[in-house]
Amino acid sequence: MLDKEVIVIGAGLAGSEAAWQVANSGVPVKLVEMRPIKLTPAHHTGEFGELVCSNSFGALSPDRAAGLLQKELRIFKSLIVQTADEFAVPAGGALAVDRSKFSIALTNALSNHPLIEIKRIEQLDLPSKDNITILATGPLTADELSYKIQAFTGIDACHFFDAASPIIYGDTIDQEIVFKASRYDKGDPAYLNCPMDENDYIHFRNELIEGEQANLKDFEKESANFFEACLPIEEIARRGVDTMRYGPLKSIGLWNPKWGDLFDRENRLKKRPHAVVQLRKEDLEGKLLNMVGFQTNLKWSEQKRIFRMIPGLEKAEFVRFGVMHRNTFLESPKLLLPTLQFVRRENLFAAGQITGTEGYAAADAGGLLAGINASLLAKGKKPVSFPVESMIGSLMNFISNKNQILSNQKKNKFQPMPASFGLVPELTKRIKDKRLRYKAYQERSTEALNDFKNKLDSCFDKDHLLSKIY
């Protein structure tokens, strides 16, 4: 006999992972997604897990916070990370994906699962209290449902403004000017680089600052609160003459072999470009290129005019212009437990960016935990919390720990948080060497998660038919 059905609202990264985890535990799932019937200001398709900003999941190496989080998700056979690995494209030391193939593969996997029922409708209200529900509507939750969530929590939704970078056709760039290189020749040359001299840079910055902005749709401009990790390029330009040069346009270590030896210091100082605009592949063939760090709220006509001022992009054709949208999130420390259950309703979970985690892998982690716990609840068992020694556990602890949040956030204002080693508990023994310290974090995380997974596996029926299929 099948267990009680779980409803998952939203088929982004968190919702897709949650539905997969629930279904693979033998519990039937109803996955509700409003796209393509109703699109958001940032989505363009009806595919599940569509990536609307960057195509990068962050650093791959486990000595970086994002890399350790990915490693932990692989331990639990995350659908999102395994699919990202399958459709990875070169991106230096980062995990970046062919976003189209990635989302199509997710959609197919979930649509073909025998225990997942797909409902293409807009969810206008929270399901009844009798239903086990996972709320994974993301930062672009539709207004009607957003109002219902506010009414349920009694807290106004928090929000910030986010922006996405333009994508251009790879065969429209000037190959004589643009060059392939990785910083300091480390690894494969995964990025294409557009060099700027000082005059190019100053003129470009001035045009960015003066460029005409798009309206923020229904939102008042004075209420705009940009998320620092995803600032529009024109906002970065306004912060100082050299701010872009020491941010997304940093030229240090990027070198065209035509200029001579990178490690000839005298030659390097003479010929090093004043700034560099980087392009990252969106697909393996490089037919589509993402303008790295060029999130923007410029009008589309202005984007075309100003971005064509970049050397090598004079004739660039745009697949997609940059867009800005409002991201909504919960004041989670006041609302959620470390299990991602709402304090006021134990069979209602929240997962993904709506909880205030930042980044694709962090959204996936929330979906993983919510899916596991909804499965346990459906089977009449007690939900679990990940060990805080892991990056997953420390993130979930951060968004659910009221005292910790209020003591660390400026003006007691909860803001989205990415994976960070600053969130995990200190090691019992202080290690000064950063490499050795991060290695110790990894080892402690792996040990804690292996113990946790062994205990968790005992909660599920390993003889279930689906375990032989998936």
Top-confidence range, 80-84, 253-257, 287-291: 80-84
164 close to 42: Cβ distance less than 8 angstroms: yes
- pLDDT of 344 reads 93
Task: Say yes or no: 266 and 174 in one domain.
Answer: yes
- pLDDT for 412 beyond 80: no
Confirm whether 121 is domain-assigned.
yes
Task: Say yes or no: 248 and 176 in one domain.
Answer: yes
What is the 3-class SS of 355-414, one letter each residue?
Answer: HCEECHHHHHHHHHHHHHHHHHHHCCCCCCCCCCCCHHHHHHHHHHCHHHHHHHCHHHCC
What is the tens place of the pLDDT at every residue in 105-125? 999 999 999 999 999 999 999
More confident residue, 414 or 433: 433
Task: Say yes or no: 136 and 209 in one domain.
Answer: no
CATH number at residue 409: 3.50.50.60
- pLDDT for 454 beyond 60: yes
CA distance 341 to 133: 10
Task: Say yes or no: 85 and 128 in one domain.
Answer: yes
Confirm whether 1 is domain-assigned.
no
CATH number at residue 312: 2.40.30.260
Where among 322, 356, 372 does a domain terminate? 322
Measuring CA to CA, how many Å separate 206 from each of 155, 234, 243? Answer: 41, 9, 13
Q: What is the mean pLDDT of residues 141-151?
A: 89
Q: What is the mean pLDDT of residues 203-230?
A: 71
Task: Say yes or no: 308 and 343 in one domain.
Answer: no
- pLDDT for 320 beyond 60: yes
Q: What is the mean pLDDT of residues 307-315?
A: 97
Confirm whether 18 is domain-assigned.
yes
Q: What is the mean pLDDT of residues 10-25?
A: 97
What is the tens place of the pLDDT at every residue in 368-403? 999 999 999 999 999 999 999 999 999 999 899 865
What is the tens place of the pLDDT at every residue in 252-277? 889 888 887 766 666 666 778 999 99
Residues in Cβ contact with 299 at an 8 Å cutoff, skipping those fewer than 6 apart: 211, 212, 213, 214
Give residue 314's domain range: 164-322
More confident residue, 414 or 318: 318
Where among 267, 293, 322 does a domain terminate? 322
Confirm whether 336 is domain-assigned.
yes
- pLDDT of 415 reads 72
Task: Say yes or no: 310 and 336 in one domain.
Answer: no
Task: Say yes or no: 415 and 441 in one domain.
Answer: yes
Where among 292, 322, 352 does a domain terminate? 322
Confirm whether 407 is domain-assigned.
yes
Task: Say yes or no: 376 and 440 in one domain.
Answer: yes
Task: Say yes or no: 182 and 141 in one domain.
Answer: no
170 close to 296: Cβ distance less than 8 angstroms: no
- pLDDT of 465 reads 39
Task: Say yes or no: 314 and 412 in one domain.
Answer: no
Confirm whether 20 is domain-assigned.
yes
Confirm whether 277 is domain-assigned.
yes
Query: Nearest Cα to 166, choosing from 295, 37, 79?
Result: 295
Please tell me the least confidently modeled range out of 51-60, 208-217, 308-317, 426-435.
208-217
Q: How far is CA 148 from the centre of its chain?
A: 25
Domain count, the chain: 2
Confirm whether 305 is domain-assigned.
yes
- pLDDT for 337 beyond 70: yes
More confident residue, 250 or 420: 250
Q: What is the mean pLDDT of residues 437-443?
A: 93
pTM to 2 decimal places = 0.77
- pLDDT for 466 beyond 70: no
- pLDDT of 132 reads 97
Task: Say yes or no: 307 and 355 in one domain.
Answer: no
Percentage of residues in the chain with pLDDT exceeding 90? 64
Task: Say yes or no: 20 and 92 in one domain.
Answer: yes
- pLDDT of 163 reads 74
